[in-house]
Structure 1
Amino acid sequence: MSELHFYLKNDGIRTSTGYGQLNISPDEEKGFRPFQLMVSSVASCSLSVFRKILDKQRVEYEDIKVTADVKRNADEANRIEKISLHYVVKGHHLDEDKMYKNLATSYKNCSMVQSVKDSIEIEETLECIELSL
């Protein structure tokens, strides 16, 4: 089990990791907002697993970008209801059907997606851009 320590400060909450200090605040000018961290966790985990799969299969990609669109419910504590992740993969000889299968595999193997899937709808779409040699 991993233990994190959080400290209440005047302008929000602070924690430190091996990478550095993380400031969390409801005020975006003073730190990351909690919902941003939740969405970032889901998107970055999903992208990391997807990338690992593509690397293992030696898929020739040059760039992958993920855009996250978030739907929140103001009537229920502004909770996150849906995260739509749109992947844009640029590369050579990209097989879109195979890429969607890889994305489905990453969905099943991403710990963050699996942690929230019963309470937050996760939608993933994909766009492949073929680069000329």
Structure 2
Amino acid sequence: MKMIKFMEGIIMELYLKENGLRTSLEYGELEISGDETYGFRPYQLMIASIAGCSGSVFRKILAKQRIEVEDIQITAEATRNPDEANRIEKITLHFIIKGHHLDPEKMYKNLAIARKNCSMVRSVENSIEIEETVKTIELSR
């Protein structure tokens, strides 16, 4: 494992290779490159981190409330600015939730709680606009 944890933070060891960077983590190796034929592009990892964190926290909130969810699908839509080094300006997370007795208004309230407790969203909140949409699909028994 190449991630070292300290009280103050985490240190990741990344190794420069011909076409990008490599790191080994508990789950496996991660290849990062500006060319997607050699690894994940940095912006893809940023978007996936924000969607993954938000979805994980949201799912935990729903589980604590005993809301019956069969499936959650998240589609992330990003807007980048080519005039500013292609920086990510906005990420819209579209949540499609399948389950039983789903209240769309309650889903939005739970997403607001998830936003406050997601470390990735909080890390970028003053530089990347994050927006969420919710679609609920009621499943019959």
TM range (shorter): over 0.9
* 2:22 alignment counterpart: 14
Within 5 Å, which residues of 2 pair with 1:1-133?
1-133=9-141
Question: CA-atom RMSD, angstroms?
Answer: 0.5
Gaps of 5+ in 2: 1-8
Q: CA deviation at 1:5?
A: 0.4
Matched residues in 2 for 1:120 and 1:22: separation?
Answer: 24
Query: Structure 1 segments of 4 or more deviating over 2 A?
Result: none
Gaps of 5+ in 1: none
Matched residues in 2 for 1:85 and 1:97: separation?
Answer: 16
Matched residues in 1 for 2:43 and 2:86: separation?
Answer: 9
Q: CA deviation at 1:97?
A: 1.1
Matched residues in 1 for 2:85 and 2:72: separation?
Answer: 33
Matched residues in 1 for 2:111 and 2:40: separation?
Answer: 28
Matched residues in 2 for 1:87 and 1:7: separation?
Answer: 35
Larger RCO (CA under 8 A, 6+ residues apart): 1
Report % sequence identity. Answer: 65
